[in-house]
C-alpha cells in the first residue's frame, strides 16, 4: 500500500530544538522578524545592541550560497524595538526544499514572533512601475504552488497550523496601512506602489512569453522568493507585511534589447536600499 513520502523534516521538534538553543543564548524576546532580500541585508546594520549568529553556528540551520546574502541571524533593537533579522535568505533555486527554505519562519514562530516583514528584489511587470519603485505586496500568486511545490506539502503538524490554511488575507491590511504611513514619513511616497507579487522558481529570468503571461495573470512584479515564507508564516498565524524593490523591468517586448541580469538587480538595490531600510525601521515602531 502506498504511503505519503516522508516530508515531515524538519519536524516540530527540530524547529523547537533550534528555537530553544537560540532562546538560551539571548535575553530578548522579539515580536518582529525581518527577512532581508538580495542586497537588502544593510537593514541588519542599523540594529543596535546586536547579537549575531552566523547560520553555520545555529543547530540545524541551513546556510546561504548566493552572492549578496550574508547568512546571519541578527537579534537587537531597531528604533528601540526588539527584533530579529535574517541577513540572507534561502531560495528554492539554490536547491533547498521548501521545507528548508521556510525553516527559519517556524523557528521565529517558536521564538514568540508575531509579525513577519519580508523584503525582496523583483522584476516589474506593471507597465506603470519604474525601476527603483518600492511595491507594497497586496497579494501573491504562488506559481510553484500550482505545480505542487508548497512548503506545506506533506504531514501537517497541527501545532503549527491547520491543514488547509486561508490565504485570502495573507498580507495584513492594517500593516499595509501603517507601511503607507511610514513610506510618506520617510519621503518614499513618490515611488511607492501596491501590487501583486508572483513567485517563480528561477534561477532563470523570465522569457518574454512568460512575462506576458504573468502580466495577464494579474501580477505586477515577479521574483524568486518570499511566497514560501509567507505561506508558512500565515500557516502558523504570523501577521505578514511584504515589500518588493523593483530592481529591473521584466522584458515583454520582442523588439527590446533589455536583458534581465543579477548585476542590474544588485545595482538598483544599492541605490534604493537606504530608502527601504528607513521605511522598515519606521514601520517597526508602528507595529
97 binds ligand HPA (CB under 6 A): no
- Residues binding ligand HPA: number (CB under 6 A): 14
Give the DSSP letter string of 16-64.
Answer: HHHHHHHHHH-S---SEEEEE-TT-GGGGGG-EEEEEEEGGGSTT----
**Region label for 282, one of left (φ > 0), alpha (ψ between -120 and 50) or beta (otherwise):** alpha
Q: Residue 225 CB, nearest distance to ligand HPA (Å)?
A: 8
Nearest-CB residue to ligand HPA?
A: 123
Q: Measured from the CB atom, is 117 or 227 closer to ligand HPA?
A: 227
Other C-beta atoms lying within 10 Å of the C-beta of residue 164: 9
Q: Does 86 bind ligand HPA (CB under 6 A)?
A: no
Q: Is 250 in the site for ligand HPA (CB under 6 A)?
A: yes
- Cell 532581508 maps to which residue? 36
- Shortest separation between residue 139's beta carbon and ligand HPA, angstroms: 17
122 makes contact with ligand HPA (CB under 6 A): yes
- Separation of alpha carbons 36 and 89, rounded Å: 7
d(CA 25, CA 54): 13
Does 142 interact with ligand HPA (rule: CB under 6 A)?
no
Least Cβ distance, residue 267 to ligand HPA (angstroms): 12
Q: Which of 248, 252, 277, 282 binds ligand HPA (CB under 6 A)?
A: 248
d(C-alpha 22, C-alpha 68), whole Å: 25
H runs (alpha helix) in 159-226: 173-185, 208-217
CB closer to ligand HPA out of 41 and 161: 41
Which of residues 76 and 228 has its CB atom nearest to ligand HPA in the complex?
A: 228
Among 265, 273, 279, 284, binds ligand HPA (CB under 6 A): 265
What residues are labeled active site?
38, 69, 91, 93-94, 121, 224-225, 248, 262
- Binding-site member from 121, 178, 219, 227 for ligand HPA (CB under 6 A): 121
- Closest separation between CB of residue 180 and ligand HPA, Å? 23
**Closest by Cα among 26, 46, 27 to 36:** 46
CA 101, CA 268: separation in Å to the nearest integer?
A: 25
Q: What is the distance between the alpha carbons of residues 140 and 207, in angstroms, rounded to a whole number?
A: 20
Interface map 186-225 toward ligand HPA (x if CB under 6 A): --------------x----xx---------------xxx-
Taken as a whole, the chain contains a residue count of: 287
Nearer to ligand HPA, 256 or 285 (CB): 256
Residue with cell 486561508: 166
Cβ closest to ligand HPA, residue 153 vs residue 260: 260
Q: Give the chain's end-to-end CA distance (angstroms, integer).
A: 50
What is the binding site for ligand HPA (CB under 6 A)?
Answer: 121-123, 200, 205-206, 222-224, 247-248, 250, 260, 265
Amino acid at each position: 500500500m502506498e504511503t505519503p513520502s516522508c516530508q515531515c523534516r524538519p519536524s516540530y521538534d527540530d524547529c523547537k530544538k533550534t528555537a530553544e538553543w537560540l532562546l538560551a543564548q539571548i535575553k530578548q524576546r522579539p515580536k518582529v522578524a525581518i527577512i532581508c532580500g538580495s542586497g537588502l541585508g544593510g537593514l541588519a546594520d542599523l540594529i543596535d545592541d546586536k547579537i549575531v549568529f552566523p547560520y553555520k553556528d545555529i543547530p540545524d540551520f541551513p546556510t546561504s550560497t548566493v552572492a549578496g546574502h550574508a547568512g546571519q541571524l541578527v537579534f537587537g533593537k531597531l528604533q528601540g524595538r526588539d527584533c530579529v533579522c535574517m541577513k540572507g535568505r534561502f531560495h528554492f533555486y539554490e536547491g533547498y526544499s521548501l521545507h528548508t527554505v521556510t525553516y527559519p519562519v517556524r523557528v521565529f514562530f517558536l521564538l514568540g514572533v508575531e509579525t513577519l516583514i519580508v523584503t525582496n528584489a523583483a522584476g516589474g511587470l506593471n507597465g506603470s512601475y519604474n525601476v527603483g519603485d518600492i511595491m507594497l505586496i497586496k497579494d501573491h500568486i504562488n506559481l510553484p504552488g500550482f505545480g505542487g511545490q508548497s512548503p506545506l506539502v506533506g504531514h501537517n503538524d497541527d501545532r503549527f497550523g491547520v491543514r488547509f490554511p486561508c490565504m485570502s488575507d495573507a498580507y495584513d491590511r492594517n500593516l499595509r496601512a501603517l507601511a503607507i504611513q511610514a513610506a510618506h514619513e520617510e519621503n518614499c511616497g513618490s515611488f511607492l506602489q501596491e501590487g501583486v507579487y508572483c513567485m517563480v522558481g528561477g534561477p532563470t529570468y523570465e522569457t518574454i512569453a512568460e512575462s506576458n503571461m504573468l502580466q495577464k495573470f494579474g501580477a505586477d512584479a515577479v521574483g524568486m522568493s518570499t511566497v514560501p515564507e509567507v505561506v508558512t508564516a500565515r500557516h502558523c498565524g504570523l501577521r505578514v507585511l511584504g515589500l518588493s524593490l523593483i530592481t529591473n523591468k521584466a522584458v515583454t517586448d520582442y523588439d527590446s534589447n533589455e536583458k534581465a541580469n543579477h548585476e542590474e538587480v544588485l545595482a538598483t538595490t544599492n541605490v534604493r536600499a537606504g530608502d527601504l531600510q528607513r521605511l522598515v525601521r519606521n514601520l517597526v515602531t508602528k507595529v
